[in-house]
Amino acid sequence: MDQAAAHRLVFAMLDADGDGVVSRDEYLARTTHAARAVGREEDDPLVVTARALGARAWASMDADGDGRMTFDEYTAWAGAEAFDTICAPLLGALFDLADTDGDGTLDLAEFTTFRTALNNPADNAEAAFTILDPQGTGRVRRADYVASIRSHVTGGNSPMGEALYGGVPVA
């Protein structure tokens, strides 16, 4: 999958209401959805951290500061540097929300709950999980998850990204 196609898939996932634009509220709601999916309270330190990192990411993505991110703004922003400095910490923090036992891994149920809360179709989660767990341990590690998404959004080979985002309608 080329980088433009990967960006379209991720943008479609971020555009939860499907109107072709990601609003500030829509983007920041991702943390709320992930926290609620696993029963975390708003004042949980992991939620506070994820919320702060989400706000930082949004400020970086919304280039013109109008509270709306177009696909063009997203593609101009997305890349390896933005991923490494902005996305990776946020994705790690969101992963930590779903890691209810704090062991640095997610089982299939946790992974499915997590990714569904972030607007991925539940039926794609198992295929993505299987790709991230090639040894069949029944666990996905945080580092492997973040690295696979990095590969997906920066134009590298990411079977997990294609499996996870592949069922999201492309705008």
Q: Does position 101 have pLDDT exceeding 80, yes or no? A: yes
CA distance 165 to 85: 22
* Predicted confidence band of residue 131 (pLDDT cuts 50, 70, 90): confident
pLDDT at position 168 is: 39
Backbone phi and psi for residue 100, each to the nearest 5 degrees, phi listed first: -65, -25
Give me the pLDDT at residue 3, please: 72
Which of 21-35, 105-119, 141-155 has the least mean pLDDT? 141-155
CA angle 83, 33, 170 (to 5 degrees): 60
Contacts of 77 (CB under 8 A, 6+ apart): 60, 61, 63
**What average pLDDT score do residues 99-110 get?**
93
Residue 119's contacts (CB-CB under 8 Å, 6 or more residues apart) are 13, 14, 16, 30, 33, 168
Amino acid at the residue 116: T
Domain residue spans in the chain? 3-165
Please, are residues 78 and 86 in contact by the beta-carbon 8 Å criterion?
no
pLDDT at residue 79, rounded to an integer: 82
The predicted model scores a pTM of 0.85
pLDDT confidence tier of residue 29, bands split at 50, 70 and 90 = very high
- Collapsing DSSP to helix, strand or coil, 155 comes out as coil
Share of the chain above pLDDT 70, in %: 89
Tens-place pLDDT, residues 39-74: 999 999 999 999 999 999 999 999 899 999 999 999
- 8 A C-beta contact, residue 16 and residue 123: no
* Closest to 105 in 3D by CA, of 138, 133, 135, 141: 141
Residue 25, token pair as written in the block: 């509220």
Q: Please state the rounded mean pLDDT for residues 5-16.
A: 82
Q: Which two tokens stand for residue 133?
A: 């767990």
Q: What is the CATH number of domain 3-165?
A: 1.10.238.10
The predicted-structure confidence for 68-98, as pLDDT tens digits, reads as follows 999 999 989 888 888 899 999 999 999 999 9
Helix (H, G, I), strand (E, B) or coil at 20: coil
